[in-house]
Amino acid sequence: MTDENEFEVRIRKVRSETSEIRSFEFEAVNGQPLPEFQAGAHISISPFPGVVRQYSLVNDPADRSRYLIGVKRELNGRGGSSAMHTQLHEGGTVRITAPRNNFALRPGEGGRRLLLAGGIGVTPLLSMAQVLAAQGEDFELHYFARTNSEIAFRDLILESEWSDRVAYHFGLVPPLLTEVLHEILREGGHSVYLCGPNPFMDIVRHCAEATGWPADAIILEHFSAEVPVLTPGEGEFVLRLAKSGIELVVPSDRTIIEVIREAGIEIKTSCEQGVCGTCITEVIEGEVEHHDLFLSPDEQEGGRLIMPCVSRCTSRLLVLNI
């Protein structure tokens, strides 16, 4: 990693949560409080040179003495999770970045929040649960796993004051999974925070739509332990659509809009010349090469917005909030 916010931490504790998941607890090497974060944030970790992975923080943001993450070993992955499991040991050090958040609790929401977790996707939701409980907010955490033995962070949940707000669902597959989700979602609420494997989240979104939830009430983060497997060529880059979990290669002679449309995803446009601002899109990750005449110089310099009809990406990965 070459991030300016990168720093070294000590591995204070490593624990087997399940047969596939290990938790890692980090502390500052100088004994000082770690950088602050909000529930839903993640850190980037480099277990060895040339490999960077992102993991959600599990612990309460009020506790800055440590960062706690969970890592599921992916046997068919590209080595990142295996390196975390085999090369990181208690007492050692590792380089990480300061927390970043693309999955924060919306401020001032009020009302009942539903936290729906699929497997290892529970990690950011556990941090959210701790914050909501401390604030006296109304919430429920529904934890979906294949078996009881695959529940990670069991002690954290059982020892909490909000353990009675957690419901467990084991081994559910459609159509039973759909029935259970419909029952949960029909009870209503203000918003749903969702994280887990893409197929699980697709089912939840379809169930939410069927039970009358508005699309903007579903806040989600796609859990992916590995970097894109797509390899762009000269002048190309990988485009990841965060909400749908789709990854595409944008060739040097095609626009982002064209590639998105070919994938069957609609995005509103008008001039398609970078002038009108109709297609303005939030950038989650990536270095934007701006070619529009709509964004102000400050907005372009900030790098958080893009006009996908004309602009491109100079990094190998561009993640958009689509």
What digits encode the pLDDT tens for the residues 101-134?
989 999 888 889 999 999 999 999 999 999 999 9
Determine contact, residues 72/120, Cβ cutoff 8 Å. yes
> pLDDT tens for residues 235-272?
899 999 887 778 888 998 889 998 888 877 878 888 88
List Cβ neighbours of 79 (8 Å cut-off, separation of 6 or more): 51
- Average pLDDT over the chain reads 89
Which pLDDT belongs to residue 105?
A: 96
303 to each of 50, 52, 281, 311, how far by Cα in Å?
Answer: 24, 21, 11, 12
Q: What is the pLDDT of residue 248?
A: 87
Q: How far apart are the first and last CA of the chain?
A: 26
Residue linked to tokens 């887990």: 196
pLDDT tens per residue across span 65-77: 999 999 998 765 5
pLDDT score recorded for residue 223:
58
- Res 54 pLDDT > 70: yes
Crossing angle of helices 176-186 and 198-210, rounded to 10°? 50
Pairing of strands 139-145, 166-170: parallel
For residues 192 and 114, the answer to whether their CB atoms sit within 8 Å is yes
Backbone angles phi, psi at 278, to 5 degrees: -60, -40
Question: Rg of the chain over CA atoms, in angstroms?
Answer: 20
**pTM for this structure?**
0.70
Burial class (CB in 10 A: 0-12, 13-18, 19+), 131: middle
232 burial level (CB within 10 Å; 0-12, 13-18, 19+): middle
C-alpha 18 chain-centroid distance: 21
**pLDDT, mean of residues 278-300:** 91
Q: Among 40-49, 177-186, 217-226, 303-312, which is the least confidently predicted range?
A: 217-226
